[in-house]
Amino acid sequence: MDTETLVYHDDNLGDVALTVAEATVLIGIKRTRLKAEGRSANEEDIDRRLLRLFTYPDVVAATTEAAGIPWPLEFEEFLLLPDHLVSQWEQVVYRLNSHWLPSRENSEDDDQKKASVSTGD
């Protein structure tokens, strides 16, 4: 299993080190569980809802060690992190787990399936 450690520093947060792993089945199911919990949360704010459904489960599930931030990281604490940190964190997560991103191939396949479906008129 490949891992990569992101080291981040800013004047407000200080030093942060996040070890991100290539997904195992256990990491994958953790991601799935966090997404399910996000769907069942009654988030009326669309931005918070999107973060609960996509970004938060992906970065938290793939992270095996964290220093410099509370861990395990609760959603409300996650929302207060600097955007620059989370952006870098996502890059590492998706570099190691590119299969978690929607692929162009899948989108084209879906488009072809939609185009070939008959309406039965």
Q: What is the pLDDT of residue 12?
A: 94
Q: Are 6 and 59 in contact (CB under 8 A)?
A: no
Instruction: Give pLDDT tens digits for 31-76.
Output: 999 999 999 999 999 999 999 999 999 999 999 999 999 999 999 9
| Residue 121 counted as domain residue | no
Provide the whole-model pTM. 0.84
CA distance 18 to 93: 10
What residue type is assigned to position 32 of the chain? T
Q: List the domain range (segments joined by +) for residue 59.
A: 3-116
What value does the mean pLDDT take over residues 72-82? 98
pLDDT of residue 103: 79
Check pLDDT > 50 for residue 118: no
Total count of domains within the chain: 1
